[in-house]
Amino acid sequence: MKTGTMTRSRIFTISVLIMLSGWVVLVKWHGLAEPLERDLTTYAYIAHSLIDGNELYTDLWDHKPPGIFLLYMLAEMVGGYDQHSIVALGIVFTILSAIFLYLFLARMADTPTALLGAAFWVLASNSVALQGNQPNVELFLNAFTLMALWALGHWDGRNFKFPLLAGIFLAMAAVCKTIIVFPVFFICLYYCYDFAKKYDRSGYKKIIGFFAGLLAPSVILWLGVFAYFGLQGRFAGLWEAVFEFNQHYAGSISRNVWRFFSSPEKLFSRSLTEIWILVLLALIWFGASRQQYGPFKRTFFILLFFGLCFEVASPGYGYPHYYQLLLPVYCMLPALLCYDLRLKFDPSGWPYGRSVVGGLIILSLVYLGYFQAQYLTMTPYQISHKKYGKLFTRSFEVADEVKRMTAPGDAIYEWGAETGIYYYSKRNAVSGITYIYPLLSGSRAERTRKIKRVVRDINQSPPEVFVYNERYGKLKKNIFYGLLKQDYQLVKKIDSYYIFKKTPLS
């Protein structure tokens, strides 16, 4: 009888996880035709160019570490240079995140709590207000973070493979975006505090072994990245793009963090609208939680929350997709709160207690599901307009126009920031600096050097089509106005986009 009950419970659990995975596929595929945000088209275009043999940080410029491009290269090698492969990449990592959150919460509490947390994740991580329905780099940071938490939750103080496994996952995150250093720092703070209470000097081997396993993979992986680029003579390009440029881009991290915590409109951003119920339950958890969950004291979750807040705040821009990084705690803490309340309102307690908890769970799921139901009634263009206005639907239209007036081997260039024009037209840029931001940010010397490079690239290989986006300055004041006036003719204007085609030689 007991075995039969366990089997039924396992079948139920697997069935729920399959249904949640099916929901992920449904909602992600619904937005298949939505024009991609510029970050994603940049990753996809650069990944495609890397497959074609170009080199990162020299031929091609972007300020992200190499990990994100490897993921997009993998997606293209499996699914092709097409939006289907990007959507599929998002589906895979969203489901992986849900599974590892489930496994982590099952370790911290029980199966119902874990299933609830996974359901929260599936609904919240697709939030349109958080721009979560497309796979930006935050999705991968969250996935690797949840994998690392799962591994840490299995460490029993003896088997060091779990800290090492957590370290490997965090290293994968680190080569996607370096801001993972903040949650890692706060996790290390927790273990320093915990080890100080558990061990005397005789336990130093365990302490050293744990931190070596947790931190060494990131150190080794980054040393490997440095060595690879250094041996190819490309270290300076890597350092300038990933470290120097980002330092200028973010400015003062301490000031950014202070502004985040001192500004309610930043700490409780409007981009969290679709998951307000989870934010509220997480805040309640801070005042009503238990002292211990599995191997972790409540201090662990508090420090993790602060680490993720630092991760969101450090770049200083507060873009909606940055707030996706808070989803791990905003899904696990409400689930743990419901677990605490279920234990408090056991059969010997308040007779209506469990009904109240059940109502709270239903309310939360209905609130989250309401926004997802709205999302399913919208067209892909409506979804894009809700998030970005007409910004990316317009660049999609421009790309379509460019594709019609060029041949597959033709090269183009856009003075602006919309790499989607390259991605959707399937035309290569004449310069590896494919968008304008590195010409506007960074040190003056670097900006000047990059501007000279773009001018050289365009003069040496004039593009068949030149797209000028007047959002970045008046056309007649641009350095390329003389070239466009002499060698190009204006074919079409779409909003702020001027589409010039090279004049045929007589």
Same domain, 112 and 86: yes
Same domain, 20 and 94: yes
Phi then psi dihedrals of residue 4, to 5 deg = -65, -40
| Strand extents, DSSP E, 253-341 | 292-293, 296-297
Last residue of a domain, one of 359, 381, 403: 381
Cα end-to-end span (Å), the chain: 89
C-alpha atoms less than 13 angstroms from C-alpha of 109 in its C-beta half-sphere: 26
How many other β-carbons are positioned within 10 Å of the β-carbon of residue 52?
10
Residue 85: inside a domain, yes or no? Answer: yes
- Pair 333, 281: CB distance under 8 Å: yes
Residue 51: inside a domain, yes or no? Answer: no
Same domain, 283 and 219: yes
* Residues composing the chain: 506
C-alpha atoms less than 13 angstroms from C-alpha of 433 in its C-beta half-sphere: 22
Q: What integer pLDDT is reported at residue 1 of this predicted model?
A: 43
User: How many H helices and E strands in the chain?
Assistant: 23, 7
Which stretch of DSSP H or E encloses residue 265?
helix 264-267
Same domain, 460 and 355: no
Same domain, 361 and 401: no
Same domain, 372 and 399: no
Nearest to 112 by CA among 336, 348, 370, 352: 336
Within 345-390, residue ranges assigned H as helices are: 353-376, 380-388
Please give the Cα distance from 202 to 134 (Å, whole number). Answer: 49
Last residue of a domain, one of 337, 355, 381: 381
Same domain, 216 and 342: yes
Which stretch of DSSP H or E encloses residue 492?
strand 488-494
CA distances 213 to 34, 161, 203, 402, Å, are 42, 8, 16, 51
CA distances 412 to 42, 402, 406, 408, 427, Å, are 15, 9, 9, 11, 7
Same domain, 84 and 150: yes
Token pair of 378 as six digits: 């919208």
Q: What integer pLDDT is reported at residue 506 of this predicted model?
A: 47
Report strand pairing: 488-494 vs 497-502: antiparallel
pTM as predicted: 0.95
Residue 69: inside a domain, yes or no? Answer: yes
Same domain, 273 and 365: yes
Residue 48: inside a domain, yes or no? Answer: no
Same domain, 227 and 338: yes
Within 109-203, residue ranges assigned H as helices are: 111-124, 137-153, 161-174, 181-198
Q: What integer pLDDT is reported at residue 348 of this predicted model?
A: 60
Q: What integer pLDDT is reported at residue 207 of this predicted model?
A: 85
- Strand order across the beta sheet in which 411-415 lies: 428-429, 411-415, 465-469, 497-502, 488-494
- CA-based diameter of the chain, in Å? 93
**Residue 291 three-state SS:** coil
Residue 39: inside a domain, yes or no? Answer: no
Same domain, 11 and 87: yes
Structural domain boundaries, residue 398: 390-502
Query: Which residue in the block uniquely carries the two structure tokens 């949650």?
Result: 183
Q: What integer pLDDT is reported at residue 204 of this predicted model?
A: 79
- Pair 117, 332: CB distance under 8 Å: yes
Sign of the CA dihedral 120, 122, 124, 125?
positive
Residue 471: inside a domain, yes or no? Answer: yes
Which stretch of DSSP H or E encloses residue 498?
strand 497-502
Same domain, 466 and 342: no
Q: What integer pLDDT is reported at residue 18 of this predicted model?
A: 97
Query: Which residue in the block uniquely carries the two structure tokens 């558990």?
Result: 198
Token pair of 275 as six digits: 């998951």
Phi then psi dihedrals of residue 316, to 5 deg = 90, 5
Q: What is the DSSP string of 170-190?
A: HHHHHTT-GGGHHHHHHHHHH
For every one of its 506 residues, what pLDDT tens digit does the chain have, with 9 covering 90 and above? Answer: 455 656 888 999 999 999 999 999 999 999 999 999 999 999 999 999 999 999 999 999 999 999 999 999 999 999 999 999 999 999 999 999 999 999 999 999 999 999 999 999 999 999 999 999 999 999 999 999 999 999 999 998 888 899 999 999 999 999 999 999 999 999 999 999 888 887 776 677 888 889 999 999 999 999 999 999 999 999 999 999 999 999 999 999 999 999 999 999 999 999 999 999 999 999 999 998 888 999 999 999 999 999 999 999 999 999 999 999 999 999 999 999 999 998 887 666 556 777 888 999 999 999 999 999 999 999 999 999 999 999 999 999 999 999 999 999 999 999 999 999 999 999 999 999 999 999 999 899 999 999 999 999 999 999 999 999 999 999 999 999 999 999 999 999 999 999 999 998 64
Per the structure, the count of domains in the chain is 2
Residue 36: inside a domain, yes or no? Answer: no
Residues 6+ apart with CB under 8 A from 24: 91, 94, 95, 98, 122, 126
Residue 275: inside a domain, yes or no? Answer: yes
Last residue of a domain, one of 381, 401, 432: 381
